[in-house]
């Protein structure tokens, strides 16, 4: 019967590993979103209206859209981590 526990243990480790990796990715994406938000503010506030070109305006809008996508990705990764944590607790029980 010990052989039956091996796959469960392996599965449990896989869930734990996925949880750890998703938390690391979440942290990286959060940092990228924060850095991009700073770039957006600098471009938006630091460049006078007179000096702006259409390309710069598009870049400013694009940084805003990318920051929003990254923030949504952080939210999704948080939900994934929560689901993995719940699964991990189930397997540990």
Q: By the 8 A CB rule, do 73 and 29 touch?
A: yes
Q: How far apart are CA 71 and CA 36, in angstroms?
A: 11
Q: What is the pTM of this model?
A: 0.74
Note the pLDDT tens digit of each residue in 7-66. 557 888 888 899 999 999 999 999 999 999 999 999 888 888 888 899 999 999 999 999
Going by C-alpha positions, the residue among 8, 74, 2 that lies closest to residue 36 is: 74
Going by C-alpha positions, the residue among 11, 33, 13, 38 that lies closest to residue 77 is: 33
Going by C-alpha positions, the residue among 81, 83, 62 that lies closest to residue 73 is: 81
Q: By the 8 A CB rule, do 87 and 15 touch?
A: yes
Note the pLDDT tens digit of each residue in 32-48. 999 999 999 998 888 88
């Amino acid at each position: 019967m010990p052989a039956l526990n091996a796959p469960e243990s392996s599965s449990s480790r896989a869930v734990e590993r996925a949880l750890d990796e998703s938390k690391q990715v979440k942290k990286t994406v959060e940092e990228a979103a924060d850095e991009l938000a700073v770039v957006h503010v600098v471009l938006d506030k630091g460049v006078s209206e007179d000096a702006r070109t259409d390309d710069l305006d598009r870049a400013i809008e694009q940084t805003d859209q990318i920051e929003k996508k990254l923030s949504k990705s952080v939210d999704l990764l948080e939900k994934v981590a929560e689901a993995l944590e719940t699964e991990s607790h189930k397997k540990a029980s």
